[in-house]
Each structure stands twice: as structure tokens, then as C-alpha cells.
Structure 1
């Protein structure tokens, strides 16, 4: 498995080199590590362990089981699928989508101005349509209200590389503002995207 490891102020992000560009995160909070939607890639898990004690594994999207259960078992910590509260961590939970076929929660970390979102927005090529961040194709008509009003310094998505600094803030605002207007471009690109993601 080819993976790119990104070290940053919040911890680590690792992105699988594949059409879906699955991204996983290790967030360092007061010497403890929260693993988010992890793919079990040994170098990243070892690097995460070097950052501190693993506190838990978070699954923020109902269909992002990935390797969460196995990673939680390995570290002897709980797997927290779609958490409703995390009193032991500094994250605000934002329920973005709550439908029978799609349940998604994002983390907003106010102290770090960090947004960790598994699916609704991402930097993967097929999301952005040439922009650095884009709204999920199925949410373009009505982007989640829970993302509005945020001014992040960091955006860590479930697909693609993380964004940091003014780029992150501008990219989120642009993605939400252009979501509907980009639909015709998305529809024109759909056949090519379907071939790329096979």
C-alpha cells in the first residue's frame, strides 16, 4: 500500500495513494492521541504511538468502518462510532448529516480552529473540480449547515491531504459558496470521474 504521511501541528494525517484518497488522522491533545477513521498503515500507527498514549478511535461516518475496530483492539482503547459526546476531549461535535443511509459527525476543535470532517467536504481531486476543497457531490444542492460560520486554520478531511493556514479558511468558504454553482461542471465531469474511481 502506497501512503503519504503528513506531519502537522495537530499530529499526523496519512493518505492512501488510490483513487478514493482515503485519509486518516492522529490528533494530539494534551499528550493523548485520538485516531480518526484510521486505515491500518503500520508506519503511521507507530508514528502516532510516538506522539503519546492513544486515548480512543473515532469513526465519524457510518460507512467509514475502515480498520477502526482492529486499531482500537490493538491499542486496547474504545472504538467510538458516531459519538454524541466526548467530554474527555476538547472537540465540539457537529452532526452534519443524519439520514438512514448517511450519518456523519464532524469535529470542531475551537482552540486550534481545526475542522475534522469525514465526508461532507474534502480535498480529493474528484471533490474539488480544480479547487483545493469541494463539497461531496451528493450534498452540493444543500451543503450541511453545520459547516457554516466556521473560520478554520486547519481542515482535515476523510479524503485527500489536509489544508492549513489562510488557504484552509478560504477554501472552506469558497467550497460552500460555489457548491450549487459548480453542479453543471460536476455533471459534465461525472463520466470521467466514474472511470477514474473504478
Structure 2
């Protein structure tokens, strides 16, 4: 099983379906489990978040409405944003403090995603790693600070802090009380998400040694 598969996927696995959105993992066999999401806002406007492209994926989110834009939440998540945006003739929205290095039309966003209830919240500010979250009071959408892929979680965690952040998890995450959490690596947490988030943050440092060991093992 490779860590990461390059190129457009021939298929995908659907994840995280709820009334106003759906997700997919374009290369289900890769260890990184890169996840992407389509979220409906307002009058059937659809926003595509951190997309990894796959054959037929447009059909997956077509039922939710018309694509209004693509969102990139962090520096390393340019992924297939340019290809998806070009296909739907929409701009790529990037938090003003994030630089994913995309060679395509982009629009900076600051406090909120235009025309939606989603706040744009800075959750990490490190050299080489700037990341934003989207949050509307119910749904929390993240890139890398939290995840559910094998190398993120340990013991009974339903979601885990990124291994590199376990000693000092981002304080910005403490403000959220979501019903669901959608992440950039792995399936989302679709019920009792606030409890899962609290457990992940409270136990991050204590479980760090085992998490690091498990993360290393998962790479091989």
C-alpha cells in the first residue's frame, strides 16, 4: 500500500454523507487517505474543499447544487484545486494567510467564506504550515491538524491530533463545538464530534509516545 498515489484516480470511495454535503477519498488504497469534500450552503451553492480528483467525482456532488468555488485550507493542499476549478469555471478561494502555490486564478478570503455562514478561522501558524478551518456552528472542516487516518489516531481515539502537533495541540481548536468534523485525511466524525474533539485534545500529549510509534509503524 503506497503512502500517496499521484495523478487523477480512476475511482473513489464515498465518505461523510450528510444533508448538506459529502466527501470522497480518491485513492482508497493509499496510506495517507487524502479526503475531499463538497459542502452545500445557501440556495444550493456547493463549495469543493481540498479536492483530490477522480473520474466521476463530479456526479457525486452534482445532486447538492451548482459549484460556486473551490477552497484550499492549507499550504500543502493545492491538490487538484486548479483542475476542478477550471472544469467548473469557478475561482479558487484561499485564506489570506495561506500560500498553496497554485498556478491558477485565486481569491483571498479572510473572516468568512463569501455568501455563507462558514467562518474562516486560522488554526495553525507555523513556519511552512499555515492552516485554516471552516466552521458554521455545526460542521467543522479541517486540513491536517486533526485526522482519522491510521497514523493520526491511537488507542480509542475517534479522531487524533497530527503526530507533529501532539505535544502542543493548536489552542484555536478549543473554541469549536461541532456536530460533525470533516478532515483532510480519513473519514470524518459524523456524530458526537465535540466529545471526540475534547478527547483528542485532552489526551494528545499523554498519548504522544504511543502515537509516534504507531505512526512510524503505519508508514511501513
Q: Which runs of 5+ in 2 are unaligned?
A: 1-8, 96-108
**Counterpart in 1 of 2:179?**
153
Aligned partner (choices 65, 69, 94) of residue 121 of structure 2? 94
Indicate whether 1:37 and 2:46 are aligned: no
- RMSD over aligned CA atoms reads 1.5
Between the aligned partners of 2:185 and 2:215, the Cα distance in structure 1 is: 18
From 77, 85, 102, give the equivalent of 2:90: 77
What is the aligned counterpart of 2:158 among 112, 122, 132? 132
Aligned residues: 192
Q: 1:118 aligns with which of 143, 163, 167?
A: 143
Distance 1:169 1:71 in 2: 31
Residues 1-198 of structure 1 mapped to structure 2, 5 A cutoff: 1=9, 2-6=11-15, 7-15=17-25, 16-17=27-28, 18-30=30-42, 31-82=44-95, 83-85=109-111, 86-110=113-137, 113-130=138-155, 131-166=157-192, 168-195=193-220
- Relative to structure 1, the CA distance from residue 190 to residue 156 in structure 2 (aligned partners, 3 Å threshold; closer, same or farther) is closer
* Contact preservation (8 Å) 2:31, 2:219: no
Residue pair 1:5, 1:14 contacting (<8 A) in 2 also: yes
Deviates more, 1:34-43 or 1:59-68: 34-43
Report if aligned partners of 2:147, 2:186 keep a CA contact under 8 Å in 1: yes
Name the one with the larger helix percent: 1
- Secondary structure of the structure 2 residue equivalent to 1:12: strand
Maintained 8 Å contact 2:152/2:215: no
Asked if the contact 2:163–2:215 (Cα under 8 Å) also holds between the matched residues in 1, the reply is no
Is the Cα contact below 8 Å between 1:94 and 1:107 reproduced in 2? yes
Structure number with higher strand proportion: 1
TM-score of the superposed pair, with normalisation by structure 1? 0.91
2:153 touches 2:211 (CA, 8 Å); kept in 1?
Answer: no
Unpaired segments ≥5 residues, structure 1: none
